[in-house]
Amino acid sequence: MPKNKFLCISFSLSEENQPKQEEDLGVQFTDKFIQEPDNITLLLTLLEEFDFHVRWPGVKLLTALLKSQCAPVQGIILVSPMG
């Protein structure tokens, strides 16, 4: 097998595994983030700001957390005083 074909095959295999690794990293981050429910409460507090440059990153972070682990994040929001 020529060296170039081997590199192409190994590169395509590593690309197939990459989304799963990124997903696992997102789940790990979410687990760490929601271990302290005050983090979600602080994030909800940021969403009360009127400044777009404060709210938009908060919305993106909350969306990513919900995509990663919806039920636990949703549970924290529902028991939060701000939720």
pLDDT digits (tens, 9 = 90+) for 14-40: 455 556 666 688 889 999 999 999 999
Give yes or no for a contact between 6 and 48, defined as CB atoms under 8 angstroms apart: no
Could you give the C-alpha distances from 49 to 7, 12, 25, 29, 66, in angstroms and in order? 50, 44, 29, 25, 21
Q: What is the model's pLDDT at position 80?
A: 86
Tell me the pLDDT band of 8, cut-offs 50, 70 and 90: very low
Token pair belonging to 45: 């507090």
Token pair belonging to 82: 């701000």
Q: What is the model's pLDDT at position 9?
A: 42
> Rounded CA gap, 43 and 34, in Å?
11
- Where do we find the tokens 């170039």? 4
Tell me the pLDDT band of 6, cut-offs 50, 70 and 90: very low
